[in-house]
Amino acid sequence: MHKWWRSPGPALLAAALAIVVAALRPATEHAAAKGRPPLRFGPGGAFKVALFADLHYGEDAWTDWGPAQDAASDRVMAAVLDAENPDLVVYLGDLVTANNLPVPNASLYWDRAVSAARGRGVPWATVFGNHDDMAFEWPPEWFSPDGVPPLRWPPGPGSGCGFRGTPRTDLMAAETGANRLLSYSSSGPRELWPGVSNYVLQVLSRGRRARGDGHDHDPALLMYFLDSGGGSYTEVVSSAQVRWFHTQSQFLNPDGRIPELIFWHIPSTAYAKVAPKAKSEIRKPCVGSINEEEVAPQAAEWGMMDALAKRSSVKAVFVGHNHGLDWCCPYDGEEREQELWLCFARHTGYGGYGDWPRGARILEVTEEPFSAVSWIRMENGTRHSDVTLTS
């Protein structure tokens, strides 16, 4: 069936072009507009990132166990931040366990999750995990003769039980609205809904400023953050997100000159392909310390790994989700000259399953000559599993 189509006038075309340009504008311009300083390599030419994965704040808040786990998670992040002094924290999903939160606003716990970085003045960026907006799961014991227990949660406006969960958009709005100078997170384009945390951050050059060649605003590193779904919708990186990544990467880095890193929560199916056999020894070329479970990948693969493999500028992908894995393994794409590393973070929070010691993956990037190295920093201060992600 044919529909009438009227040719757009010059004003409409100009407006449409403005929308496209705004959507593609580098993330650092948006940061500057909000009063945040751009991310930049330090005086020594390095940029360090701490990855906090699977904090799971708010579990079993009606018991003594739940609040104790949250306090322990506070201590882990404090220990890592004090030991590493990173330039950026990446919260790699599952900041809260929404399916355990009988409160009308999970942002109260979300705010606590980012408080370790905020209290030290460290900027951060977040991506969503499958538990962050999951529907409340009624515990069966609440229907026993004892009934619903007394409920405790952080004080705040609108106190009371809601059991409805807090949408991704509300969580992101609460975070960015209350932390305008330190949160570099973004909701991302509306056309990628129901995914929310899809955005790019640029780390600007320090070495070029030192040389005085007038290019100190050039990005020297691009960091892509994607929502891998779960919770309120399917666990997947969509084909729309793949197209968005292609558009952004071609706009920001058309010649592939700038190194690129990728962050999302749920591992892609490619992780299962490169994984050591569960519970087996981690052997080279993989590097890590725990390999206690099978990879729990996304529900489907809609082209993101192919898109990444075709770009030699993409050096590594970082995920959380599996608490019993902390390895990095190379993924050999057919069209790549260098390996693409697939890395798990380290289970940071005391919420969530598993009793493995807690810690965080650290990533350090050097601008000139470019290099990316990573290791695990444990709660007790030890460091292990050093790996070079570039050759």
pLDDT for res 30? 47
pLDDT for res 158? 53
d(Cα 272, Cα 288) in Å, to the nearest integer?
15
Retrieve residue 62's tokens: 């009606």
Contact between 295 and 275 under an 8 Å Cβ cutoff? The reply is: yes
Sequence-distant (≥ 6) Cβ neighbours of residue 268 within 8 angstroms: 237, 297, 298, 301, 304, 305, 317, 319, 342
Which among 311, 226, 313, 328 has a CA at the least distance from the CA of 271? 328
What separation in angstroms does the CA of 389 have from each of 86, 116, 324, 338, 366? 18, 28, 21, 10, 12
Which residue in this structure is represented by tokens 């404090």?
A: 78
d(Cα 240, Cα 245) in Å, to the nearest integer?
9
pLDDT (tens, 9 = 90+) of the chain, 391 residues, equals 332 222 334 333 333 333 333 334 444 434 554 678 999 999 899 999 999 999 999 998 888 999 999 999 999 999 999 999 999 999 999 999 999 887 767 899 999 999 999 999 999 999 999 999 998 888 888 788 887 777 655 555 555 555 567 899 999 999 999 999 999 999 999 999 999 999 999 999 986 544 444 455 799 999 999 999 999 999 999 999 999 999 999 999 999 999 999 999 999 999 999 999 999 999 999 999 999 999 999 999 999 999 999 999 999 999 999 999 999 999 986 666 678 999 999 999 999 999 999 999 999 999 999 999 999 999 999 999 999 999 6
The helix/strand count (H/E) of the chain reads as 10, 13
d(Cα 71, Cα 113) in Å, to the nearest integer?
10
- By DSSP bridging, strand 328-331 and strand 340-344 are antiparallel
pLDDT for res 157? 53
How many other C-beta atoms are found inside a 10 Å radius of the C-beta of residue 23?
Answer: 15
Which among 77, 225, 58 has a CA at the least distance from the CA of 153? 58
Torsion of CA 68, 72, 77, 81, to 10 degrees: 130
Domains and CATH numbers, the chain: 26-388 (3.60.21.10)
d(Cα 258, Cα 255) in Å, to the nearest integer?
8
CA angle 11, 12, 14 (to 5 degrees): 65
